Every structure is written in structure tokens, then in C-alpha cells.
Chains A and B, each alone.
Chain A
């Protein structure tokens, strides 16, 4: 077990270095984009003069040389301070924490839908390979795989909100309503259905195809044939001989997707007016709200690093052959 702890510590140390490098790289990259927050604010106000621009730049700390700005940002991050959004008048950490739950709820649900739905579909297809059921699942998953997200989003709004009027089209709660308790949960859940499904469909297709392929590969292995020859019940054979071994590539993929839970939903959040972190980042980019954008990048990169580590640990649980050295 000490070997495990040691390897985790080593990975953590590496991760800190990677995250710091990401912070610096992001800082430089963002500054390469033309324009700054002062010019955005002038552009949106439709009026400006020199004094106005100079005041804004001084307020945002943009009047200092770039290296000094970089240093003050990085040293702030090292002390756990993600900076202040002068545009929104709030500390960056507060802005991000404010939006993080909404995004995690959306992406977490989408993740669950994708994983459960995808693996189930893949199993059905894989175990019935070559039959009609396999064909249907394959066509459906190909369709999900190939259709752009925003189109699915818009079409599902048209169908379920506009024509059928079953589900709300946008937002996280009903406009103007102030539900509490259970009513609130139901309200959020109703708002969650369309965006979470839209977001989940693509990955569901990926999981389905991967599970199917993986099962096809595993089910012809010698040990499966042996198990079958031993007269093992089909259910048990599927669960402990086929599925467990078919699972590894799916975990890899799930790890990658989980790392993107925070940053990967910009499009869905925009189409459905979901108040998450992806939109926060997108708005911050358009407004050149540097500190917010860097803050979101920072949180996202930490998520990626953390989920990579969790994935590695999961490998070892599922497949004891993989040791700490991996």
C-alpha cells in the first residue's frame, strides 16, 4: 500500500507543475488576443474618451507591465487567490463557485445518462451482434454520434418545448417562480432533462460503439469459450467474464470525459440558458475578463488532472494486473 501512496504523491507533485505551467501558458495566450476589457466596455457603452479608457485600464491593473501582471497573478494563485473580476465586481473564486454547482449538475447528469445508456446499448448490440437489434442500436448510435450538439439542442427545444409543450426550453428554474423544497427539485429536474440529454447523446453513442466492439472482442476469447463449455449461466458469464474485461477501454474514455465535465458544456449551456461555468468562460472570453477566464481554466485543468488520477486508480481496481508502476 505504501507503494500506492508514494505513486499518488509523485503524481500529485507532477500535477502541481503541470497546472502551474498551464496557468502561465494561459496567461500569455489570452494576452495575444486583440483588445482588452477597457475596449470592450467602451464598445458596449457606445462612447468613450481618453480619461475613461485610462481609468478603466488602471482599475483593471492593465497599466502595469505584462511581466509584473503575470507575477502578481501567479503569486496570487499560489496563495489561493484567483483574483477579482472588475467587470463583474466580484472575486473570481466567488463567481466560479456560484456557477460550478449548475455545471456539475448538468454535466454529471449527462455523464450518467451517457455512461449508463451507452453501456446498455453497447451490451445489447454486442451480445446480439449481427441481428436486427444490433443493427438498430448501431444506426441510432451512429446518428447521435454524427449530429451536431447545437442542432440536437435546438430541435429538441422545437419538439418538446414549442410543439409538445412538455418541457421548459431554457434556464434552470421557471422564470419568476419561487419554488421551495420538493417543488424546486422537480422544477430544476424538468429544466435539466433537455440539456442533459442533448449533452449526453454524443458520448452515449461513443460508449455504445466502444462497448459493442469491446464485447465482440472479448466474447471470443478462450476463457469465455471455456466458461461457456463449463455450462456457466449466461447471465453470470456475461457479467463476470465478458463485461468486466470489456470495461477497461470504457473507463479510459469515461476518465477523459469526466475531466471535461467542467469545461465541455459551453454550447449546451448557451442554447439552453443554463447558468453554468462554460457560459461564464465564454462571456469572459468575449469581454476579455482575463481573471475570470484564467480562473475557469485553472479549475478545469485541476479537474482534468484529478480525474486522470482517479482513472488510473480505477484501472487497478478493475484489473489487478496493473500495478503501481503503471
Chain B
């Protein structure tokens, strides 16, 4: 018995030693050079961003792949692989001039043909969000090697937003054209144009990216390497940050109750900018098909019974503010001219009384179920808070636990009464908000469609009109009206506009520079000169 154990231990150690023989890195000192360790959680299934837009995939692959544009904190487009762009006055023709000296990581030049292939063929085949954008195109053509022209069938307000990295990452045509994208062997060895290249991926342990010496950005990137340790346990992630073994966490990597403590450490900064493109509103979705949620009075009662400030303070630890409607004020086209629901238990109970839902001997008016969102501790607490608050007005809430697969399955198939959710808004209501409310998007079996079953022809028309508006003024008018209708009919309860926390080592600068924050290329990120 002992002999066998010793042998297997030796074998294991030998295998480990072999894996450890790696090229030694040159470490430059000073402003240029240096490395950064960034938490990756969960482990990305793949780094081929074209086929997978998982959160952690974006964080890592966002350094390998690039898109034509990125956006500053106010959503002004900034150059990426495009150096300049213009829109015709009727909003139908967009022309992009591309970077001249960009190459793929295998040395092949990046040209307009790659853009045409990506937007016309690749994304339309595999990417659900990109289909919504490039489906508006009549033609996509290369005018020369470094100029691309998109001609639209009708104006589409958020068109430029579609050129963000996770929506339209540029895919190398010379490796993918004419192949079966999903089984292409290059999917395992990502080839992008970005400032960092994949150097090593030790599954279950870490992903290491190294500087791309041929990057098109002059003198960029500054950092020599990026390492992404895979840390499955929330406690270990907090310890790693606290001890300085990693220098950055993003989104909900750190459980929110740990954030205030870590933010006070002298070597860490708490940054909440850089999530404008996502700007989720934490909300409760009601299944509007089933009683009692089919009655607007019940939905309003629930809205009145939830103390939004308490949710922001106790569940999100101040990392967010009370929401007033479906659109976050961190994104575009928000309006505060809407029906609001201040915490008011009397009003809530009056509405329930009016419905004839009276308390029984135990003070219970009705019992409903709440499908708990499976993405971490925050949502478990969120569910318990809903349970506790609705209990005050006699609505008994039974919490149903779930894991990612079962939650998505039940949500997509309308098999729920209430659930929480915080989908990203993607910089424009036409991309991130309309999908949850328009009747044409009621599609059973598809998660993140209109799963509540809410339907209002007027809302449909307004969303349609605003999506195809050309100027921001006409779009704002339509969106303000939509927000007024939605907050009056409350197919959901919008609770908190979430500010994700980025915890970042104070020695780094120019790290969070755009609306996609930690998913940015990090071409500018560097160690501050000491």
C-alpha cells in the first residue's frame, strides 16, 4: 500500500516538474515592463471570444482580440482597430478607416477583408447580440485594404455601439473563412491583433499572456505580461488581493461584504468607473402570465413594499443607488420623469386589500415563489431580503434554489413566478433593454428574451421608433415615453443600479480608461514610475 502511494506521488511530482520547465522571462524595471496578476473567475471555457462571451472570457480575451472601436466613460467612440469613422447625414452609411500597420499574432496583416468577413459572415452565423446589429446592414464592403463601408437598410441609432469588443471582436479571415467555425482547430490557439498574446494556459491554475512586440500601438503595451490565476473560492480571492498576490479583481469576483474592508487597505483602490457599458439594474422579474402577477395592482404592491435604499446599502454595501426604472442613469437615454415607488407599506397593503387578498390567521395573504439567481452569495442575500420585505405585507415568499443550468432552463421556459436578474445594457436601450419588453421577443426556450411575457403594442412601437431614430433628441423622446409606460405597468421591480467594484493595486495607472473597464485591451496600462 505505501509502495503504491509513494510511486504515484513520485509520478505526480515528475509530471509537475515537467510542466514547470518554462522559458524564463525578461523583467524590465521602471515605467515600462512589469507584470500584473488579475483574478479570472470562473475559468473561461475558451479564449476564442468569437464563440463565447462569458464574463471572464471577455476579461482575458479582451487583451488578445480587438474591435474597431472602444468607448470613453460618456460613450464617445474612441479608436481601436479603426483610426477614424464617419456617418452619412441620413444615418445609412458608415465608413471606417483602419489602422495601417496592424498584424495578426501569426504575422498576417490585418485588412478590411477581415472586417467584412467578421461582420458579414462570422458574427451573423454565431453571435446572437451581433445579429441584432449587423442584421441591419444592406451591404458590408471593403473599399480598399484599409477602408470599410457599411450600408444600412434603415437608420439604426446604436449602430456604432456594435463595434465594441465583445459584440464585434475582429476574427482572422485567413484562419476561419470557409471553415466550420465551431470545430476550427484555431479556437484553442487564439490569434488576435491585441497587445497581448496567449503564452501559456495551465488549466485550473492560470492563464499567462505576454506582450505582443509587433503591436500596432506606438510603444504599447507597457506591461510585459499579464497572469490570470484561476481562484474558485471567494475567500481565497479576497486573501490573494489582500496579500498582494493578485493586483486586480473585477465585477463580482470579491463578495460584496468583503469589498469595503479591502477597499480600505492602503495598497488597493476601489474604482467603480469602467462599467458604463454594462450598467446593470438589479431587478425582480415577474412572470406576468401567472396569478397574482398578472394583476398590475399586485406588481405595484410589491414595488411599494421594497425598500430600495436598504437593498443598495445592505445587499450591495453602497455599491449602487436606488433605481427608478428599466434604464440605468449610468447609460444613455435615462429619464427621471417617471412613476416612482417610494417605500410605502400602507399603499402596498391597500392595493392588496383592493384585490381582495386579505390576511389569513397567520397574516398571510398569498404565497408566491422566488427562483434564486445562482451567481454567488449576493443573490442569495437578495432573495432573502425580498422574502423578508414582502413578508411584511403578508406575501409569503418561498425561495427556490437553483444552479446555473437549472436557473437558465427555468427562466427561459417561463417556469418561475419571480426571479432576480441584472442583465447588461450594452450602452444603448435598443441593445440591452428593449429585448426584455418587446412582444416580438417573447420566445420560449430563449434566456434573456422577453421572459416575463409583458406585451404592449405602444411600447413595441416606441422601442422600434427609437431604435431607428437618427438623432439623439428624437430617440430620447421615445425612450422617455417608454420609461413612463413601463414604470406605470411595472412588469418588473427595478431596485438598484449596480456599481461593480474594481479593486486595483495603487501602483498601476491608465488601467481603467473606457466604458468596458477591465475588459479593455490594457494597451495603456502601466506601472507608475517610482
Of the listed stretches A1-9, A17-25, A214-222, A267-275, name the one at the interface; the rest are far from the partner chain. A267-275
Interface 9-residue window, one of A64-72, A154-162, A238-246: A154-162
Q: Are B239 and A169 in contact (CB under 8 A)?
A: yes
Cβ-defined contact, A36 with B409, below 8 A: yes
Complex interface: stretch among A83-91, A129-137, A138-146, A200-208: A83-91
Which residues in B have their C-beta under 8 angstroms from that of A166? none
Contact B406 A188 (CB under 8 A): no
Please choose the segment from B230-238, B258-266, B290-298, B493-501 that sits at the chain A interface, where 4 or more of its residues have CB less than 8 A away: B230-238
| Distance, CA A109 to CA B208, complexed state (A) | 28
Known: A40-B404, A101-B12, A175-B245. A53 touches B17 (CB 8 A): no
With the chains together, A95 CA to B188 CA distance in Å? 13
Choose the segment among A73-81, A178-186, A224-232, A294-302 that binds chain B (4+ C-beta atoms closer than 8 Å): A178-186
Determine the residue in chain A with the shortest Cβ distance to B15.
A101
Q: Check if A55 sits within 8 Å of B126, measured CB to CB.
A: yes
Contact partners of B232 in chain A: CB under 8 A? 270, 273, 279, 283
Q: Answer yes or no: B246 CB below 8 A from chain A CBs.
A: yes
Q: What distance in Å separates the Cβ of B133 from its nearest Cβ neighbour in chain A?
A: 12
Q: Which residue of B lies closest to A169 (CB)?
A: B239
Judged by a CB distance under 8 angstroms, whether B529 is at the interface is: no
Q: Please tell me if the beta carbons of B235 and A273 are within 8 angstroms of each other in the complex.
A: no
Of B5, B16, B446, the residue contacting A53 (CB under 8 A) is B446
Q: Which chain B residues numbered 39 to 69 have a C-beta less than 8 Å away from chain A?
A: 42-43, 45-46, 48, 52-55
Nearest CB of chain B from residue A158's CB, rounded to whole Å: 8
B204 interface neighbour in A35, A109, A280, A287, Cβ under 8 Å:
A280
Q: Is the CB of A33 within 8 A of B406?
A: yes
Chain A 148-175 interface mask (CB, 8 Å, partner B; 1/0): 0000001001000110010011111111
Write the chain A residue with the least CB distance to B229.
Answer: A175
**Chain B proximity of A301: nearest CB distance (Å):** 18
Contact A180 B21, CB 8 Å, known A51-B128, A169-B240, A287-B45: yes
Since A108-B12, A168-B245 are in contact, a sample of 12 more A-B pairs with Cβ atoms closer than 8 Å, ordered by chain A residue number, is A34-B410, A39-B412, A40-B404, A40-B405, A48-B446, A50-B446, A53-B446, A104-B11, A178-B22, A180-B21, A273-B230, A280-B204
* Contacts from B to A (Cβ < 8 Å): 1-2, 4-5, 8-9, 11-13, 15-17, 20-25, 35, 37, 42-43, 45-46, 48, 52-55, 126-129, 131, 182-183, 187-188, 202-206, 208, 225, 227, 229-233, 235-236, 239-240, 242-243, 245-246, 403-412, 423-424, 435, 443, 445-449
Sampled A-B contacts (22; CB under 8 Å): A34-B410, A47-B448, A48-B446, A49-B131, A53-B445, A55-B126, A86-B182, A87-B46, A98-B204, A101-B15, A105-B16, A108-B8, A175-B37, A176-B225, A178-B24, A179-B20, A180-B21, A180-B22, A184-B17, A271-B233, A275-B202, A286-B405
User: Nearest 9 A-B pairs (CB), nearest first?
Assistant: A35-B405, A275-B204, A43-B408, A35-B409, A105-B12, A184-B20, A101-B12, A34-B406, A101-B15
